Amino acid sequence: MSEMPAKGEPVLVIGATGFAGGALTRELRRQGRPVRALVRPTADVSGLESAGVEVTEGDITSPADVDRAVAGVSLVFNFASPFRSAKPTDEYFRAVNVEGVRHIATAVRRHAVGRFVHCSTIGVHGDVKEIPCRETSPYNPGDIYQETKLEADLYLQEEITRGLPAVIMRPTSMYGPGDTRMLKMFRLVQNGRWRTVGDGGAWFHPCYVDDLVAGFLLCGEHPGALREVLILPGLRPLRLRELVHEVAQALDVPTPTRSLPLKPMLAAARACEILCRPFGIEPPLHERRVRFFTNNRHFDGSKARERIGYEPRVPLEEGLRQTAAWYFSQRLLQRAE
């Protein structure tokens, strides 16, 4: 295995204030690696600065900002992406997810950077039609976020054939301390208000943050990762109804069993989006949230295991317990009296 860039050669992390990018940044600093972060002027960088990260203000949508950030580094990780909600426009999704990636690739070439690791999404496969889904399985994006991520993937795959030293990684659903995407589920399960839409039979494939960070590092250092597309999954997929049960176990509460009919919920979600989006209002219900209960996410990690030795190790039960403990420690959840 090749080494990470030598001390004195910064690693650039774009998206270091987010969950995945932040976790990787902390691990790089723990290893003593110099890290530079490209962050927007409005971002809270106190945590980065206290960790000794070199902060460079700028925006991935600006070619000049990206070029300035890339100059002098030996490795680039890109985690930047708008959060999927009703507020970003389609144009902004494209500006960040597609044009931003083009800016990075151009700068990587200009400055002869050794490797560019791009964090894509398993969402390019959408509701998977091949179980388990592999890197070569059909694309099936279901919204503008996934569509623009796929556009960037295809662009990078073409640039890789032209010699770009890039890696495309597709992590499965990430979770763990520091992330709040599962907080709503934890809260509803804890207070008994969780309702499964439909029968809960769809597949879900989570991956704990520590396993993903190990995978990210391998994508940055292992010779077998260069110019590859790699899915990084967790230990095992499970049905959504099993996930709800495991969350209840982690919280030491009864497993909620009530459900809601699928079709009326989908109709309500579509109506909410149609009514709210023109006004920039966050809908109380998104179709993608309902699709969470119907879309299958079941992935094969054998390529990453064979090419770079990626082996997730954290059992779901332990990961959920650690996540719950963090929610309690941050007072995002309240312990029952």
Q: What is the 3-state secondary structure (H, E, C) of 211-268?
A: HHHHHHHHHHHCHHHCCCEEEECCCCCEEHHHHHHHHHHHHCCCCCCCEECHHHHHHH
How far is residue 217's CA from residue 171's CA, in Å, rounded to a whole number?
13
**What is the SS3 assignment for 159?**
helix
185 belongs to a structural domain: no
Lowest mean pLDDT among 175-184, 235-244, 328-337: 328-337
The number of distinct structural domains making up the chain is 1
Residue 1's pLDDT is 39
Position 64 scores a pLDDT of 98
* pLDDT confidence tier of residue 324, bands split at 50, 70 and 90: very high
Residue 287 included in any domain: no
pLDDT digits (tens, 9 = 90+) for 8-23: 689 999 999 999 999 9
Encoded tokens for 9: 């050669």
Residue 63 preceded by cis peptide, ω within 30: no
| The pTM of the whole model exceeds 0.85 | yes
How many CB atoms sit inside 10 A of residue 3's CB? Answer: 6
Query: Averaged over 217-228, what is the pLDDT?
Result: 97
Please report whether residue 279 resides in a domain.
no
Backbone angles phi, psi at 38, to 5 degrees: -90, 115
Q: Is there a domain that residue 1 lies in? A: no
For residue 22, the domain's CATH number is 3.40.50.720
Q: Does the residue 36 lie in any domain?
A: yes
- Give the DSSP letter string of 18-39: SHHHHHHHHHHHHTT--EEEEE
Supply the range of the domain harboring residue 160.
11-179+205-236+298-314
pLDDT band at 84, cuts 50/70/90?
A: low
SS (H, E, C) 89-125: CHHHHHHHHHHHHHHHHHHHHHCCCCEEEEECCHHHH
Neighbour tally for 49: CB within 10 Å:
12
Task: Report yes or no on 122 lying in a domain.
Answer: yes
Question: Over the stretch 128-180, which tens digit does the pLDDT of each residue have?
Answer: 989 999 999 999 998 899 999 999 999 999 999 999 999 999 999 999 999 99
